[in-house]
Amino acid sequence: TQSTRPQRLLHAVQKNATRGDPRSVVKAIDNFCRQKEWAMNVGDEKGCILDSVVSEVNPVTVLELGTYCGYSTVRIASLLPPRAKIITLEFNPDYAKIARQVIAWAGLEDKIQVVEGPSGEWIPKMKEQFGVKTFDLVFLDHWKDRYLPDTKLLEDCGLLRKGSILLADNVICPGTPDYLEYVRNSPRYKSQYFKSHLEYTKAEDGLEKSVFLG
């Protein structure tokens, strides 16, 4: 039976990356997506912006919405301090299965918890299920029409504190207009756009970094 693109991406990691070396996993995926098949990872150009924000925030608790194959999960986790943890939500069980193997190849299982299911269900359970108080950093990279409702849900569930950082992928391409309008006009956020390019292409895209003001 025909393999899927995430399966071929995983095989490229297992073939070309060194076990336990997260940076080689990131490099193997970027090479696969440049040379073989495009895939919707944040990519190396926007990935450098992600790295700089993670390093600046130095988060202890991270939430990622949209694991896909685990590229940004590995990228973020490789920069976290020792006791820090990332919870990453993935709706599609097939993608979650691939992501767990990519994360294992990188040797980052201890820092990452992949949770399967819809954000609408899991966000309200974060405190009771995972002992989370608030998130220091949230990386939004899931369905673009869910960025705004899930941000409001995070606010309503008390999962953001003064200074929590939201970092959103694809605010230009494919675009998240309602989310962008909200974080740029709400008095509860201080927002900043980092101009870049859509992964592995010359099209414009960028990340929006928004600080929750409480």
Site string for Mg ion, 98-137 (x = CB under 5 A): ----------------------------------------
Neighbours of 45 (CB within 10 A): 16
Q: Out of 20, 118, 158, 163, point to the residue binding ligand OZS (CB under 6 A).
A: 118
- 32 in contact with ligand OZS (CB under 6 A): no
Q: Which stretch binds ligand OZS (CB under 6 A): 25-33, 106-114, 137-145, 176-184?
A: 137-145
- 65 in contact with ligand OZS (CB under 6 A): yes
- 90 in contact with ligand OZS (CB under 6 A): yes
Q: Is 140 exposed, middle or buried (0-12, 13-18, 19+ CB in 10 A)?
A: buried
Residue 205: both structure tokens together: 């895209």
125 is catalytic: no
Q: Out of 16, 92, 186, 191, point to the residue binding ligand OZS (CB under 6 A).
A: 92
Q: Which of residues 78-97 bind Mg ion (CB under 5 A)?
A: none
Residues binding Mg ion (CB under 5 A): 141, 169-170
